């Protein structure tokens, strides 16, 4: 495998860099990297890995572009709203670097596809935003024997680490048990500083390039913490827990992370055909409601506990959000206050994909 004349032009600043040079650039060209999620973290990861010349990049994401994404997911524009993130990302990145190959997976990462997909790539980068996917990605990476580059964000702070690198510690060594669902709100509920995922995602891309080229000190057995408000950066050491032996995937990662599965659900298609049988409650934020809704009451999840008396209870209540996660949390709250009310979750949320 050699670099073409155009690739020599494209990667000139790498080629004259002493720790990369032509051999390092060829390593990047040969590399295969799978990126989980094309959202806040995935966008900068994908942009910098594509610009760097990683030869084969897989993108797995079943989501579509929403207007609220544009504050931080800078791969997308207003014209992309409603379109597949994975497809739009691959198209835009191909325009940035036409010399690399993209594999697009418009699906969720699941226990059925994770190990099979991971085995196709050299490195997996986790840009997910929920604990179920993080534990699944960790376990599948261990079983497939692939390094996992981890990043996470919360309001103004982020963290980065590399798991399972040369038999190093894993996500379970750092976080043996998941938090309770109500203890881990996502950015749709609490917000996130727009530049934060750009910073953390860039750190993830940096770790990936270091692994591929064999340069620098990889963040294995180390957790980097970054605070955008104070500009403080701290690196903590942690150890591999040799008692943790991952031989197979969990039967259900939602159950493992404490997410209830006994909540009744209906699909949007069914709801539209039988809407007169139900009251609707939208628990998304104000900007999401303005952008798109399917009717009913609107009480954001963050306000629900203080506004329970406003909820319409004369019919069975269908609770909805964008994806079905916040509505599940809302149903837990509503169950305590209205134990006899029939509560139904809108499966997959209200966004038509």
Cα first-last separation, the chain: 40
Calculated CA dihedral for residues 133, 239, 32, 70, nearest 10 degrees: 50
Q: Please check whether residue 109 is in contact with residue 36, taking contact to mean a CB–CB distance below 8 angstroms.
A: yes
Distances (CA, A) of 92 to 73, 85, 261: 13, 10, 38
Both tokens of residue 317?
């209540």
Q: Please check whether residue 48 is in contact with residue 203, taking contact to mean a CB–CB distance below 8 angstroms.
A: no
Q: Please check whether residue 218 is in contact with residue 160, taking contact to mean a CB–CB distance below 8 angstroms.
A: no
- Helix (H, G, I), strand (E, B), or coil: what is residue 305? helix
DSSP 246-293: --S--S-HHHHTT----S-EE-HHHHHHSGGGEEEEE-S-HHHHHH--
Alpha-carbon distance 292 to 298, whole Å? 12
Which of 67, 45, 5 is CA-nearest to residue 322? Answer: 67
Tokens 């791969």, located at residue: 75
Kind of pairing, strands 148-154 and 123-126? parallel
Question: One of 43, 173, 213, 321 is an active-site residue; which one?
Answer: 321
- Helix (H, G, I), strand (E, B), or coil: what is residue 55? coil
- Helix (H, G, I), strand (E, B), or coil: what is residue 134? helix
Question: One of 187, 213, 257, 350 is an active-site residue; which one?
Answer: 187
Rounded to 5 degrees, φ, ψ at 326 are -65, -35
Alpha-carbon distance 129 to 44, whole Å? 15
To the query of whether residue 173 is one of the catalytic residues in this protein, the response is no
To the query of whether residue 43 is one of the catalytic residues in this protein, the response is no
Query: Could you give the residue numbers annotated as active site?
Result: 187, 321
């Amino acid at each position: 495998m050699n670099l073409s004349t155009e690739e020599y032009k494209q990667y000139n600043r790498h080629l004259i860099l002493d720790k990369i040079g032509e051999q390092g650039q060829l390593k990047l060209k040969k590399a295969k990297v799978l990126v989980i999620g094309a959202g806040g973290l995935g966008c900068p990861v994908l942009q910098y890995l594509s610009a760097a010349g990683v030869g084969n990049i897989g993108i797995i994401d079943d989501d579509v572009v929403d207007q609220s994404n544009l504050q931080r997911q800078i791969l997308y524009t207003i014209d992309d709203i409603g379109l597949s993130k994975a497809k739009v990302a691959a198209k835009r990145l191909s325009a940035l670097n036409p010399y690399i190959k993209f594999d697009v997976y418009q699906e969720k990462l699941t226990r059925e596809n994770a190990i099979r997909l991971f085995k196709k790539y050299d490195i997996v980068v986790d840009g997910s935003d929920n604990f179920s996917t993080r534990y699944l990605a960790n376990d599948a990476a261990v079983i497939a024997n692939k390094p996992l580059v981890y990043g996470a964000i919360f309001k103004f702070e982020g963290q980065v680490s590399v798991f399972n690198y040369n038999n190093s510690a894993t996500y379970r060594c750092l976080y043996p048990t998941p938090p309770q669902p109500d203890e881990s709100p996502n950015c749709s509920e609490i917000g996130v500083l727009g530049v934060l995922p750009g910073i953390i995602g860039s750190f993830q891309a940096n770790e990936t390039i270091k692994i591929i080229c064999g340069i620098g000190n990889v963040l294995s057995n180390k957790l980097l913490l970054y605070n955008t408000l104070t500009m403080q950066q701290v690196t903590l050491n942690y150890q591999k827990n040799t008692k943790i032996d991952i031989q197979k995937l969990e039967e259900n990662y939602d159950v493992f992370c404490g997410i209830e599965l006994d909540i009744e659900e209906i699909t949007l298609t069914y709801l539209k055909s039988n809407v007169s049988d139900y009251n609707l409650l939208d628990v998304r934020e104000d900007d999401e409601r303005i952008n798109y809704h399917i009717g009913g009451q609107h009480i954001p999840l963050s306000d629900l506990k203080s506004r329970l008396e406003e909820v319409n209870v004369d019919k069975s209540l269908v609770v909805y959000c964008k994806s079905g996660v916040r509505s599940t949390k809302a149903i837990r709250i509503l169950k305590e206050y209205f134990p006899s009310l029939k509560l139904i979750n809108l499966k997959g949320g209200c966004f038509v994909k």
